[in-house]
Amino acid sequence: MRFRNKVVIVIGAGAGIGRQASEVFSREGARVVRVDINRDALSDLDKEDSSKHNDLTVIADVMDETQVKGVMAKTLEAFGVIDVLVNAVGGSTVIKNSFAETDALTADDWDNIMRFNLRGVFLCTREAIIHMKKQRNGKIVNLASVAGRGVSEFSSSAYAASKAGVIIFTKKVAIEVGPYGITCNAIAPGLTLTDRMKRRWEVATEEHKKRVLNSIPLGRLSSAEDQANAIAFLASDDANYITGITIDVNGGKF
């Protein structure tokens, strides 16, 4: 197992890609620190699998600096090391119309999207780096989006700009921490059938579904596990000489 006895912090482990990533890491032997603001989601995770007794769940709002410091402190108190950080908090639904065109966005919409998709990534990465530098090793994997490439028709300009920020942040951090043996990478998912996206997909017209699927060479939408597997690769020793990149996990769509 690739992560036997590794300590992996998954931010946003309560749902979606973060939840699936925590499952993959757990299956492969990691001691997983599952972090989410949603107490009920974390409780459900604990109930689903009693084998997670070596894992740690932490309820925290990673937009709050003090709470992020607390996540790192609890991890170190429990396990003494931070091997991997996965930043999977983010999204577009913090504003009323996540598909709004630029002239329909308010200044508050813009600020809320930027904060939600960038602040937590910055705070968690900063705090993890402090400890990883002392260890002189560690891996950070961020969750960007194909929207950050400017090629998604299903996102607002605010969301696209925020995820482009994650891509550039990832590259800059990689340059800074490389001399300490730390890597920093990201994935850029295409349309992924998380629970939230499934609800949207189910009410879409057949014509719309056909158009979307025809634009993807592999002919299907991504599953959360597709994305989680890419995250696990970047967090594993198989990717020891890879840093500063963002992998598009989009079924070949260009």
Read off the pLDDT of residues 47-98 as tens digits, 9 standing for 90 and up.
665 555 579 999 999 999 999 999 999 999 999 999 999 999 988 878 777 7
CATH class of 7-193+224-249: alpha beta
Mean pLDDT of the chain: 92
Average pLDDT estimate for 115-144 = 97
Q: Select the more confidently predicted residue: 235 or 40.
A: 235
pLDDT tens, 26-57?
Answer: 999 999 999 999 988 888 776 665 555 579 99
Of the residues 159, 164, 191, 227, only one is catalytic, namely 159
What whole-number distance in Å separates Cα of residue 214 and Cα of residue 9? 37
Contact call for residues 169 and 142 (beta carbons, < 8 A): yes
159 is known as an active-site residue: yes
* 89: CB partners within 8 A, 6+ apart: 11, 12, 18, 62, 116, 120, 121, 143
**Quick check: 101 pLDDT over 60?**
yes
Label residue 159 left, alpha or beta by phi (over 0 means left) and psi (-120 to 50 means alpha): alpha
Q: Are 90 and 112 in contact (CB under 8 A)?
A: no
- Of 201 and 75, the one with more pLDDT: 75
Question: How far are the Cα atoms of 63, 84, 227 from residue 41, in angstroms, in the given order?
Answer: 18, 22, 20
Give per-residue burial for 223-235: e unless 16+ CB within 10 Å, then b: ebbbbbebbbbbb
